[in-house]
Amino acid sequence: METLTEQDRGNIGRAAVGPVLSVKNLQVQYTAESGNVTAVDGVSFDIGAGEVFGLAGESGCGKSTIANAIMRLLQTPAKITGGSIELAGRNLLDLGEEELRRTRWRDVAMVFQSAMNSLNPVMTIGDQIVDVFTTHEKMSKQAARERAAELLKLVDISPDRLKSYPHQLSGGMRQRAVIAIALALKPSLLIMDEPTTALDVVVQQEIMHQIKELQQRLGFSILFITHDISLMVELSHRMAVMYAGKLVEVAPSKTLLDNPFHPYTNALMGAFPPLTGPRVELIGIPDAPPNMAHPPTGCRFHPRCPLATEACRTIEPPLLPGAENHEAACLLVPGYVVPRERSRR
C-alpha cells in the first residue's frame, strides 16, 4: 500500500484516495431504565487509504461507541439502530460471527482505551504475540516467534523482551507492545482509542512520533480518537470534531486548526493548548456536555455557546460544506444555509 506524499496530504479531502472505511448515518442507542440514549446520532465519515483520520470531542460524546461499533464489539445495552459501516466496500453490519472473527484484527484492529493494561499479566509478551499469529494464521510456533521478534523491533523494543511479562516493561513499552500486537496481521485500518492518555507527556510524544513513522512506512489507515485536539492535529491528515453524539465539523487538520468554523471546535482548541510552542493560557469550556438522555433542542451546543442566537435554540444544523473540504454544523458559519426541510422541523 502506498503512503501519502506531502502533496497528497495537503490536498486530501473526503476520501481523495478511495475510502477504506465508509461510515454512513450511523446510529447507536443505549437502552436504560431512565430512558434510551442515542449516543451516536447520524454520524457519517470516510477514511481514505493511508489516511490518518482524527475524531475529537469531550468525554461522553460518543467516540468509543463509534470505535466499538466499527469493531462490532458493542454489547447490550448498546445497539446499532441505523446506518452502515463499510470496510473496503463490505458492510460490517451484515457480517455473521464467523466472518467478523476473520475480519477483526486482520482487516481492522483496535488499540483500546487504557490498552496498556489490556495485556495478559501472566503471559510473556512473546507468548501473547505468538498467540495472535497461531490463532489467526496457519503458522508454526517457531515461525510465529520469528514474526513476534520482528514485530517488537518494529516498535523499537528489543527481541530480548519477548520473554518479559507486562509488569517488567515500562508503561510506554507496554503501549508499544499493544500497538505491535494490533499491527500483527497487517490490518488496513487501525483504530486507536486514546492510545496515549495514561502516559506522561514525554512518553506520549515518543509514541505519537512512532505511530506516525509506522503509519508512513506501512501505509495503513488510522482512526485516531482523543479528547485532546492539539495532539490530534500533530498526527492526523483530516479530522472530525464530535459533540453530544453528532459530528459538528470535518476538515483537513491544518485547515481546522487555522480556521475552525464551529464555536465548539474553537472552545476545544482553547482547552487543549499545543504540546509544543509557547505557553498559552488554558481556557476551559463553560458548563458540562448535555445529559444525552435529554439533549438540548436545536444545536446541541447552544446552551454552552457564547455566540448562540435565538435560531440556534430551535434549528438543528446539519453538517454542510462551508468551504472546499470543510464541513460544519453551525448556523453562524458565513454562507451557511439550512436546507428547507430541516428549518421547518
Q: Which residues bind Mg ion (CB under 5 A)?
A: 64
Is 59 a residue that touches ligand ATP (CB under 6 A)? yes
Contact with ligand ATP (CB under 6 A) among 16, 23, 39, 233: 39
From ligand ATP, Mg ion, none, interface partner of 1 (C-beta below 5 to 8 A by class)? none
From Mg ion, ligand ATP, none, interface partner of 75 (C-beta below 5 to 8 A by class)? none
Which residues 99-158 are close enough to bind ligand ATP by CB under 6 A?
113
From Mg ion, ligand ATP, none, interface partner of 54 (C-beta below 5 to 8 A by class)? none
Least distance in Å: CB of 79 to ligand ATP? 11
Whole-angstrom Cα distance, residue 156 to residue 209? 12
From Mg ion, ligand ATP, none, interface partner of 59 (C-beta below 5 to 8 A by class)? ligand ATP
62 vs 126, beta carbon nearer ligand ATP: 62
Whole-angstrom Cα distance, residue 195 to residue 91? 26
Least distance in Å: CB of 63 to ligand ATP? 4
Whole-angstrom Cα distance, residue 54 to residue 192? 10
38 vs 64, beta carbon nearer Mg ion: 64
82 vs 219, beta carbon nearer ligand ATP: 82
Interhelix angle 171-183/125-136, nearest 10 degrees? 10
Four-residue CA torsion sign, 175, 54, 8, 221: positive
Closest CA to 20 of 1, 55, 46: 46
Contact with ligand ATP (CB under 6 A) among 208, 239, 250, 292: 292
Is 300 a residue that touches ligand ATP (CB under 6 A)? no
Is 65 a residue that touches ligand ATP (CB under 6 A)? yes
Closest CA to 65 of 87, 43, 46: 43
Residue 49 three-state SS: coil
Is 69 a residue that touches ligand ATP (CB under 6 A)? no
Contact letters for ligand ATP, residues 214-233 (x by CB under 6 A): -------------x------
Contact with ligand ATP (CB under 6 A) among 49, 61, 130, 267: 61
The DSSP code sequence of 322-341 is EETTEEE--TTSTT----HH
Q: Contact at 8 Å (CB) between 29 and 36? A: yes
Whole-angstrom Cα distance, residue 185 to residue 188? 9
Contact with ligand ATP (CB under 6 A) among 29, 64, 230, 266: 64
Whole-angstrom Cα distance, residue 271 to residue 254? 18
Whole-angstrom Cα distance, residue 179 to residue 175? 6
Which stretches of the chain bind ligand ATP, using CB under 6 A? 30, 32, 37, 39, 57, 59-65, 77, 113, 227, 292
